[in-house]
Amino acid sequence: MAAKAYRLLVLFLVFYGTCYPQMQTVRINCETPNGYVRQLLLGFTDDNTATDGVDYGYDGPCVDNFPDDLNWIIEDNRYVIQGVGAFDNTKQYPLGIFLQNSGSINISLLSIENFNNPINLFIYDAILDSYTQINNQDYSTTLNNGNYLDRFYLTFYNPNENLGLNNVQELDLIIKYIKSSREIIINSNNNYLINNIKLFDLLGKELLSENLNTSNKIRIPSNTINSKSVIIHINTDYGQTRKVLIIH
């Protein structure tokens, strides 16, 4: 019991920054569909005392049982406090979203502490391959109920900026769902050569993948797609685009 009480005390002190007053920390908030706000802490140890794995005295497990929640994912378990090694802007830290209710979530930056130079923070969506900077604005999205793992990450670097991919979603493509015929229609106004199309559900499960190599209007029947919303990835000879479609 004494050892457990000591670990809880250390976690408390790390969380409020009194044990390591110069520890570099990042705190984020997540407002879930039921209006509850979860706060998460990420702390960096300059001497690499902590790691990306589970470290007693640095990582605080999630002991709550909320219907909607956001947690760090460390070795497949849920945490609200994560201690890691020295700050490295190439690292990505997995986030798990757990929803019993469908609706909007908003992830915002609460504070950045003890950094000598400014840092950028992004929410990375691995399904959309999108980076949303949260330094000055919230990350907002609408999700169906379910558990979202291996999709969302906190990161500090957007590689698309250097690759010139920030505007890949502005390709001149018409992408729409036709309810009467239950088809997804893709039409290229500029005759882009469409190489590949993939469909995913919002949890990241691949529903369809087709290699096409065509610039014609494409019709995809949705009769066999058991999902109310899909993420469609389109690869062309000019670039890539992604779109979320609601289908019925």
Q: Outline which parts of the chain fall under CATH 2.60.40.3080.
A: 168-246
pLDDT tens readout for residues 94-142: 999 999 999 999 999 999 999 999 999 999 998 877 889 999 999 999 8
State yes or no: pLDDT of 6 exceeds 50.
Answer: no
**Where does the pLDDT of residue 7 fall: very low under 50, low under 70, confident under 90, or very high at 90 and above?**
very low
CA angle 201, 144, 120 (to 5 degrees): 85
The lowest-confidence range among 52-56, 173-177, 189-193 is: 189-193
State yes or no: pLDDT of 24 exceeds 50.
Answer: yes
User: Do the strands 37-44 and 146-155 form a parallel or antiparallel pair, or are they unpaired?
Assistant: unpaired
Cα 33 to Cα 27, 88, 101, 158: the distances in Å are 20, 32, 6, 27
- Name the class of domain 168-246: mainly beta
pLDDT tens readout for residues 202-217: 777 888 888 887 767 7
